[in-house]
Amino acid sequence: MPNPKRRHSKARTGKRRAHDALRAPQTTPCPNCQEPRLPHRVCPKCGHYKGREVIRVEQEV
């Protein structure tokens, strides 16, 4: 297994790690209830996806 001959500088290491930061998930408003939800997923608040009810969600009282 090859090993590095010389150490990498802090700048080079930082450039490589520049894209490793975690990002907040992208959300879109649900067309039915306007709650934020992840794209291409069933809305956790109302249970709708692509204009129809996919799962039944119990309403909190």
pLDDT tens, position by position, 3-26: 989 999 999 999 999 999 999 999
- Look at the chain and count its residues: 61
* 4, 15, 16, 24 from 11: Cα distances, Å: 17, 6, 9, 26
Q: Would the pTM count as exceeding 0.85?
A: no
Q: Which of helix, strand or coil describes residue 12?
A: helix
- Residue 61 binned pLDDT confidence (cut-offs 50, 70, 90): low
What confidence category does residue 60 fall into, taking pLDDT thresholds of 50, 70 and 90?
Answer: low
pLDDT on residue 59: 73
* Nearby residues of 38 by Cβ (< 8 Å), 6 or more positions away: 25, 26, 27, 28
Q: Are 25 and 38 in contact (CB under 8 A)?
A: yes
